[in-house]
Structure 1
């Protein structure tokens, strides 16, 4: 699986602030709140389910600058469409998030138009927790057969955090983690490993925790469904943990319980 996360670059105001922030993250417990908790908006799929788009947006902690990132995913390969994402960061606190979102949307509109993206999928589960300590790491869900025996049935996702070294994070006093994501059947037997880290990409910064945010299914006529999972990633930030999102996609030719 390809990891595609836009980690907003942060600047630290001197060594004292850096050391203090690292101590807060390393301390765990009550410091699991998201200082800059990005929001997300699902834009939709192309009619054939081949492409999926979503947005993350918010206000940077520390700087107070608004940002918006719009991602377009090719679902069969779990990779971003060339030329995307569209990222907007305005270094002016007086500019609103809505203004920045509009600018990012204008930049991405040609891609959405060309790929015909805008068809709704079915959001089966949506976890609105903003804090790492409340984020879901195990979610069951059901998508009934629609007559062609290609529904997912009753399955569940299990997210596991994996302690993993990353030199620049360790130097800050942060204990970084990667993750594994497995699709299981109702009995808890693995159907498919959707992702398993062997190292932490530089794009994630210093990830401390992860959470399951959204499970989205797009049924395809005569084929198995497309499954998209949005995960929260809680990374080291200026005032605490900053939440960003990453997306994973997989497709099924038939019901996964028979694969």
Structure 2
């Protein structure tokens, strides 16, 4: 069975900036790794400490940006429960396991551009829209893009039966493309990956962009998914404008 791409885990953030959110949950951090030269593969590492158990974890994801799927044999997941476990050890072990795939696609050579970052700690920023440009230059924005996030109810999986709130999926539209109004349906998610199946709220939290030497740009939209315990995990959605 093919795994759908929508990737988890990213972007270090605290919950203090999100209205109505308690500090009970945790949000994973992210370290983008990079793209293959042709933009067809994107990878990142997510990591953190699980709330309550204090267990350090680290996962490395490799995504086929055309098909919207994890590469076969990935992601690589590490979770440490031994007495001397710490986040540094979890991250090192996880990257060691993933190193073969990183080298295979030469991902460190093509880091891409973090074009926008909109975590919950960003006070006053919109939770459902994100506007950015793909050129890292000073001055007025050139050829901007805008992504718009919507939420929609989905059938709750059996594992989510204990969730008091309604389980949601999301839709993603590119409503501005190179400065021109647009209504491109970038992605509509009626079923979410297993690790995000019980999500009750979403926030659009960032965008990563890569321009291959030959071919079209690849955009990775970063969507933050909250579960009922207010743990925040991330989904990365490939967008091809």
Same fold by TM (over 0.5)? yes
Instruction: Provide the residue aligned with 1:232 in structure 2.
Output: 224
Structure that is richer in helix per residue: 1
Shift of 1:5: 4.1
Alignment equivalent of 2:234, drawn from 245, 251, 254 = 245
Q: For 1:34 and 1:80, how far apart are their aligned partners in 2?
A: 30
RMSD over aligned Cα atoms:
2.9
Q: Aligned pair count? A: 222
Contact 2:7–2:61 (CA under 8 A) maintained in structure 1: no
Q: For 1:100 and 1:125, how far apart are their aligned partners in 2?
A: 28
Contact 2:128–2:203 (CA under 8 A) maintained in structure 1: yes
In structure 2, the CA distance between the partners of 1:134 and 1:100, relative to structure 1 (3 Å rule), is farther
> Structure 2 unaligned runs (5+)?
10-17, 136-141
TM-score (norm 1): 0.76
SS in 1 for 2:145: strand
- Indicate whether 1:189 and 2:182 are aligned: yes
Alignment equivalent of 2:170, drawn from 154, 179, 187 = 179
Instruction: Provide the residue aligned with 2:203 in structure 1.
Output: 211
Contact 2:130–2:206 (CA under 8 A) maintained in structure 1: no
Kindly report structure 1 stretches of 4+ aligned residues shifted beyond 6 Å: none
Shift of 1:109: 0.2
What does 1:121-200 correspond to in 2, within 5 Å? Answer: 121-129=112-120, 136-143=127-134, 153-168=143-158, 169-185=160-176, 186=179, 188-190=181-183, 192-200=184-192
Q: For 2:162 and 2:198, how far apart are their aligned partners in 1?
A: 11
Instruction: Provide the residue aligned with 1:35 in structure 2.
Output: 25
- Higher RCO (CA < 8 A, seq sep 6+): 1
Contact 1:170–1:176 (CA under 8 A) maintained in structure 2: no
Q: For 1:135 and 1:155, how far apart are their aligned partners in 2?
A: 15
Q: Whose radius of gyration is greater, 1 or 2?
A: 1
- Indicate whether 1:99 and 2:101 are aligned: no
Deviations 1:170-228 (A, max 9, x none): 543122111001112245431x2221122344331310111222211111224221111
Q: For 1:46 and 1:3, how far apart are their aligned partners in 2?
A: 16
Shift of 1:30: 2.6
